[in-house]
Structure 1
Amino acid sequence: MTLLDDQGRPEPPTDGDELATLNGFLDFQRATLAWKISGLTAAQLAETTAKSEMTLGGLVKHLAYVEQQWFHVVLHDREPLEPWASVDWKADYDWDWHSAGDHTPEELTALWQAEVDRARAAVAEALQAGDLGQPAKRKPWRGDDRTVSLRWILTHMVEEYSRHNGHADLLREAIDGQTGE
């Protein structure tokens, strides 16, 4: 039975095995992002704060990209899918951040949720063939021979969401005053 906190986020298990614990913390961070963007309009998702160009919409689209990049491309060595496949990353390295304003909140949330679902399926598929120590099928960094394990990818994704959820805290408070974890 999954316990939910006051914001409807699943609490990570306190006595789970390694996979349940990693997935529990990652799902908690994913749910934190969903909480931070809930109920906002497209204009609110496009707001910036201080001197930063960062927006909540850009953050959501970036995390959708990161989900696909690590779990679909790096873990399984598959080619990127749209909308990422046709992006000219050399022309705009931060395209995921910059192009988010072209979408409605519903489109951004659906894109992100589809990538989260694809990532969960990719992890389940990988675990049918091996354990958390299995290496990813593609090296993640150009010109670098190091490879990463599924364990590393899951841990990195917890870090990625944790860092960006800190940004989401600041952006959401600047938009409408909502605060909390």
Structure 2
Amino acid sequence: MPGTDTTAFDQAATTGERADLLESLDHHRDMLRRTARDLTDEQAGLRTTASELCIGGIIKHVTAVERVWAAFIQDGPAALGDFTAMSDEDLAQRADEFRMLPGETLAGVLAAYAEVAAATDALVRALPDLDVSHPLPAAPWWEPGGSWTARRVLLHVIGETSQHAGHADIIRESLDGALSMA
């Protein structure tokens, strides 16, 4: 998909640590997008393993993850919400992140991902410092009183994107034998 990605990393505009982080993130985004190449909307919504995951749903989830963590960099813990008070509606919305819903298209899911990626990249380029830090909200998976820098958030988003690209690759191989790296 080279040449078609409008969010591709612009090395000339960014250097140093930021360039390395953005280049790594863009690489893993590309690996995830590759799992969706040449799929129909129906195929993008198919579950091919025992898990609830489908390729379109994984892309939706990674889009939501990147969006919320970029908001955390800008706005702090309020962007993540209160994990201790999630309603049934919140949980249902979260579950919908992982599947293609009626009326959703792969093209639409990929366009939303490209939009979020471009916004994240612009945010990272505009930050005065990657040491900008915010406290993490209370949640059982974070140590109490912890905080994350923008750098740490980017590393987390890179890890999430990479992990889910691997999930998508397994789903795609189960679907039709295609490999992301081929």
TM-score, normalised on structure 2?
0.77
Structure 1 gaps of 5+ residues are 1-6, 81-86
CA distance in 2, matches of 1:165, 1:90: 23
The alpha carbon displacement at 1:142 in A equals 4.3
Give the structure 2 partner of residue 112 of structure 1. Answer: 113
Contact 1:42–1:101 (Cα < 8 Å) also in 2: no
Please give the secondary structure, in 1, of the residue aligned with 2:22: helix
The alpha carbon displacement at 1:141 in A equals 4.5
CA distance in 2, matches of 1:157, 1:141: 19
Tell me if 1:168 matches 2:165.
no
CA distance in 2, matches of 1:18, 1:175: 38
Contact 1:68–1:115 (Cα < 8 Å) also in 2: yes
Please give the secondary structure, in 1, of the residue aligned with 2:114: helix
Tell me if 1:178 matches 2:178.
yes
The residue type equivalent to 2:75 in the other structure is D
Tell me if 1:75 matches 2:76.
no
The residue type equivalent to 2:66 in the other structure is E
Give the structure 1 partner of residue 30 of structure 2. Answer: 31
Alpha-carbon displacement from aligned partner over 1:150-175 (angstroms, at most 9, x marks no partner): 11011111111110111111111112
The alpha carbon displacement at 1:116 in A equals 1.0
Q: CA 1:165–1:18 in 2, change beyond 3 Å: closer, same or farther?
A: same
Give the structure 2 partner of residue 83 of structure 1. Answer: none
If asked which structure has higher relative contact order (CA below 8 Å, sep 6+), I would say 2
TM-score, normalised on structure 1?
0.77
The residue type equivalent to 1:57 in the other structure is G
Give the structure 1 partner of residue 136 of structure 2. Answer: 139
Give the structure 2 partner of residue 58 of structure 1. Answer: 57
Please give the secondary structure, in 2, of the residue aligned with 1:94: helix
CA distance in 2, matches of 1:90, 1:175: 28
Q: Number of residue pairs matched?
A: 161
Give the structure 1 partner of residue 84 of structure 2. Answer: none
Structure 2 gaps of 5+ residues are 80-87
CA distance in 2, matches of 1:169, 1:39: 14
Q: CA 1:29–1:95 in 2, change beyond 3 Å: closer, same or farther?
A: same
The residue type equivalent to 1:121 in the other structure is A
CA distance in 2, matches of 1:140, 1:45: 34
Alpha-carbon displacement from aligned partner over 1:121-177 (angstroms, at most 9, x marks no partner): 22223x2xx3212213x6354484311001101111111111011111111111221
Contact 2:28–2:161 (Cα < 8 Å) also in 1: yes
Give the structure 2 partner of residue 8 of structure 1. Answer: 2
Tell me how large the CA RMSD over aligned residues is.
2.6
